[in-house]
Chains A and B, each alone.
Chain A
Amino acid sequence: MTAMIEARGLVHEFHTKQGRTRSVVRAVDGVDLEVAEGEVVGFLGPNGAGKTTTLRMLTTLLTPDAGTARVAGYDVVAQSEDVRRRIGYVSQTGGVFSGARAGDEVMDHGMLYGRSRAEVEKRGRELFEQLQLDGLWTRMPRTMSGGQKRRLDIVMGLIHSPTLVFLDEPTTGLDPQARANLWEHIADLRTKRGATVLITTHYLDEADALADRIVVIDQGKIVANDTAANLKAQVSGDLVTLEVADATRVGAAAEQLRSLAGTVEITGSTVSGRVARAGRAVPGLVRELDRTGIELESIEVVRPTLDDVFLTLTGRSLRDAEASAEGSETAPDKGADQ
């Protein structure tokens, strides 16, 4: 398989000035990234981690301060025009003017790739149908729903039949139904069009559902790069939570769970701990609890999530990382993610 994206040591710095103090923020700090043809890769990280900045360098919109990248076989700096011809980019903000007619915008966009009017119109109408936008050709985006508008953005990104598609936070701000619907369309990019896809997200379930491989970025650096299953395997075990019917027996239950989990956490009448291969261990645990007469109110086994992975990798949960990014930073984060 050939590499669609090959990035080495990408760096981008933002210079910010507050009053008289100048500071340099390394939004992207030495990113290496490889994506093979036909792969769907999830680029995961909290807001302000450098996802969008990396993407903008790979799509030739931003010149790297250091490092090199070849995208679709061409250098992003020296051969930017060849790169642009072969990639589709759906940015966070989209790219369709809200007061223009959807079909006009799609056609103008396609024609900027050098395609003929007839060809672009045919392809545009096909895409409208495939992305369930039939009948919206002459509508203005400002009268469309969030999901429709997002699908229209994807039509714009696909109008020139690119082999590599970049999607930047495609489902942010959508309701669950529209999100699930968009996921189907994103999955189709590979299955029906054979495209290679790089999708950034800060939703764990999204990366989990769509991507073959997940690259985790935090504070401008890649901190993990593996399949979702392997990443989850790094978290030691599944989370087993027991709720004891008689709160006075919680200590005894904790004792038994500890023999499997090592460390346990007790809150009120519940006790929880991480157990490797819980599916095999839990039946034995339940039998033992039953034998010693400890009655359970409930038992819950949760497979590790990517949130747990992020916590294991960085020592912070994804939500804390977002909160601190929003609280402390203003200008550099805006620059990095918009």
Chain B
Amino acid sequence: MRFVRECSIVFRRQLRMNLRNPAWVIIGLLQPVLYLLLFGPLLKPLVTKFGATNAYTFFVPGLLVQLGIFGAFFAGFSLIGEWREGVIEAERVTPASRTALLVGRLARDVLQLFVQALILVLLGWALGMSASFRGVVFGVLLTLVVGGACAAASNALGLATKSEDVMAPIINMVMMPVLLLSGILLPMTIGPHWLLRVSDFMPFRHVVDAVRSGFGDNFGGPEIWWGSGWAVVLCALAVWWGTSTFRKEN
């Protein structure tokens, strides 16, 4: 009970600051919308080549996971600003749970992601995506879990580096292989065999596969389990890492 209360205090505070400066939310949302509007049409004539029938049913799941990963990766930057002004120190000197200090922030990131995901899915439907309702619910949920994991990792990284200049190149370095090996833009199955094997080691590819299976209402295959498993494992690891950085920030 106390934990929930502490989380909600931190969450409300974060949300209030976000609403005061919504520019980042809009920028974060604009990116997948542009992909959908400007890249989606290019996929249309190609989708039959990799076994899909509807370009948007194929593409929206990838964009959803991309939104979850990349949007959340930047959460840590605002934490550095707060740390610099002594906010983290002031919170750490209160008896509040260290996990609550992190989870309250994650709740804000996940809520923001949820709103963005909703807009993306609705826009997808408007453009002609055909996906089952339960598949979409599953896909959005999985995206939120992955987004929570990435936000936790980003917060931990922000508090560990304490510098935007150090953090930005690290994020860039991580983002490139994630983008290229997750099958977000094109499915890994159309590439050579070795590339597919390499992408087996990329947890986010399994998540993309799972969301895609869900959208196609294909809940029987192993993809669902692999993707869900990876999402939960990543999330647990990231929250553990994040909490430990909040616990001893030096």
Q: Which of B81-89, B141-149, B235-243 contacts A (4 or more CB under 8 A)?
A: B81-89
Complex interface bits, A92-105 against B, C-beta within 8 A gives 1, otherwise 0: 11111111100011
Provide the bound-state CA to CA distance between A92 and B20, in Å. 27
Given A104-B13, A108-B9, A114-B2, verify A97-B94 contact (CB < 8 Å): no
Provide the bound-state CA to CA distance between A97 and B6, in Å. 18
Given A91-B86, A95-B86, verify A100-B17 contact (CB < 8 Å): yes
Q: How far is the CB of B13 from chain A (nearest CB, A)?
A: 5
Q: Which of A79-87, A276-284, A320-328 contacts B (4 or more CB under 8 A)?
A: A79-87
In this assembly, does B44 line the interface, its C-beta being within 8 Å of a C-beta of chain A?
no
The reply to whether B86 and A109 contact each other, CB–CB distance below 8 Å, is no
The reply to whether B85 and A109 contact each other, CB–CB distance below 8 Å, is no
In this assembly, does B16 line the interface, its C-beta being within 8 Å of a C-beta of chain A?
yes
Of B5, B9, B82, the contact of A97 (CB 8 Å cutoff): B82
In this assembly, does A62 line the interface, its C-beta being within 8 Å of a C-beta of chain B?
yes
Q: Can you give 22 A-B contacts (C-beta < 8 A)?
A: A60-B93, A61-B92, A61-B249, A61-B250, A62-B248, A81-B95, A84-B94, A89-B93, A91-B86, A91-B89, A92-B86, A93-B84, A93-B85, A96-B85, A97-B87, A104-B16, A109-B94, A112-B6, A112-B91, A113-B95, A114-B2, A114-B95
In this assembly, does A59 line the interface, its C-beta being within 8 Å of a C-beta of chain B?
yes
Given A95-B86, A95-B89, verify A84-B95 contact (CB < 8 Å): yes
Provide the bound-state CA to CA distance between A61 and B95, in Å. 11
Complex interface bits, B1-13 against A, C-beta within 8 A gives 1, otherwise 0: 0100110011011
Residues of A within 8 A of B (CB): 59-63, 81, 84-85, 87, 89, 91-100, 104-105, 108-109, 111-114, 156, 335
Complex interface bits, B78-117 against A, C-beta within 8 A gives 1, otherwise 0: 0000101111011111111000000000000000000000
Q: How far is the CB of A194 from chain B (nearest CB, A)?
A: 21
The reply to whether A63 and B248 contact each other, CB–CB distance below 8 Å, is yes
Of B17, B84, B85, B94, the contact of A112 (CB 8 Å cutoff): B94
Q: How far is the CB of A190 from chain B (nearest CB, A)?
A: 21
Contacts of A61 in B (CB 8 A): 89, 92-93, 249-250
Provide the bound-state CA to CA distance between A166 and B218, in Å. 60
Contacts of B249 in A (CB 8 A): 61
